Amino acid sequence: MSGHLRRVELGFLLRDARVRWVFLAFVLLCLPAFILALQDTRRVSAEFQQITAVERDRWLNQSPKNPHSADHFGTWVFKPVSPLSPLDRGIMPYLGQMVRIEAHVFNDAVFQSVQDANSGSRSGVSSVADITQILLPLLMFVLGFAVFAADRERGTIRLALGNGTSPAKWVAARLWATSIIAAVAILLPLAILGSVSVLAAEGAGWQPWLRLVLWVLAHALYGGIFLLLGFAISLASKTVRSALTAALLAWVVLCIAVPRASTAFVEFISPTPSYQDTRTAIERETRAFNAAEIASTREQEFLQSYGAERAEDLPVDLRGAMLHARDEHDNRVFDKWFGQFFSELEAQDRVFGWMGIVSPKNALEAVSEAITGNDFANHTSFVWAAETYRRNLSETMNGVLMASPQKEGVTIKTSREVWEEVPPFDHQPRTVWQALGGVLVPAGILLGWLLAATILVYRLSRRMKP
């Protein structure tokens, strides 16, 4: 009986014009955003690869010079571009994607792609996720709001239940058929677009296919929540008009009003830390340590530690040793203040993840950004990797300088042999499991929404009356 019910319900849906319109509307709205985002992602990735090669060549072929001068000569490093960026760009357009590597300076990541954004990006629909997170709930409501309200209004519920059909089995059969239609109309296009994105990009180190599967599953979970809510509204409504009104109200509240209010609420209870104050504190501490009088005292103490009166009598280069001491101090300052700054921002992200309790959209947003690698945690991973690379470069140059004491004012010069001791920058993005580990709360909340909606539909189906 159950199999027969499912086939009947699936047949009804396949003849429903709404299904064709849902599929067509979804594809027509997602396709332009995807094409633009794919073109932009490929362009940025190609430019980064080209400039990375140029920068490496520039570093290796710089003219012979003092190692510390080479440290200031520096280079540029670039953030790896996620192959799933056309699906969800996350906060990537608002964060820098390249860092200048040079002595003594923890530089900001620069080149925010939003500055070169097209009109679609500026309107907030720069990726498939931007559209899906708003449109998918509405489409699920379109498929679900009238499934029982229309039967109740026509009086056909009495006929269906009069044939001895269990209300719960009838609801389950209709839900199964609608889910199949939704999967074909919504999830299949998402999977196809994602596959094109993965095949068109360099995915080394990204685990792109696993990320794509998880991303589609997250959206299946999200769509399932709103499909169940649509069924619940239809089961509780006496007329199609009241069901439509309730569904539209739920969509506006859960997908537009509450997410906007959540952002303001998160800022209220966990304010964004001041970047200017962080930089000011760093400048104050580094200036104090590197002041001329204090630096001179350190030099004298260093000479005394070797029992020497002049720099020429040291077994190591005095200037190199002082530069090493300065870098060690400044690095501790950077770790302290930037570590605190990034920790506060990450705490703010965690608070936003909890806002999934009031709207599934908030939860999906956090999960989707993490899966595609365009979240803040992956950005900070890149920033610290760039800083580690800068420190390694400085340590290498300082080591060469210290190992070559300068006698009688003769300045050491080094060339390519030394430059090659600094390897190319090779940053690997966080793994899928590391990314998911940071969004366990919003992912759990999504599952909680699905469970709650399932229970609601089950209880309403048990009380179904003509």
pLDDT (tens digit, 9 = 90+) per residue, 435-454? Answer: 999 999 999 999 999 999 99
Contact between 182 and 203 under an 8 Å Cβ cutoff? The reply is: no
CA–CA separation, 251 and 256 (whole Å): 7
When pLDDT is cut at 50, 70 and 90, the band that residue 366 belongs to is very high
Give mean pLDDT, residues 375-401. 94
Tokens, residue 463:
């009380």
Angle, alpha carbons 148-364-185 (nearest 5°): 50
Residue 320 has pLDDT above 50, yes or no: yes
CA–CA separation, 70 and 77 (whole Å): 16
pLDDT tens-place string over residues 142-159: 888 877 777 777 776 666
Q: Residue 77 in 3-state DSSP?
A: strand
Contact between 371 and 430 under an 8 Å Cβ cutoff? The reply is: no
H or E element in which residue 401 lies: helix 376-402
Mean pLDDT of the chain: 87
pLDDT of amino acid 1 = 44
Per this entry, what is the length of the chain?
Answer: 466
CA–CA separation, 361 and 354 (whole Å): 11
pLDDT > 90 in the chain, percent: 53
Residue 377 has pLDDT above 60, yes or no: yes
CA–CA separation, 231 and 464 (whole Å): 12
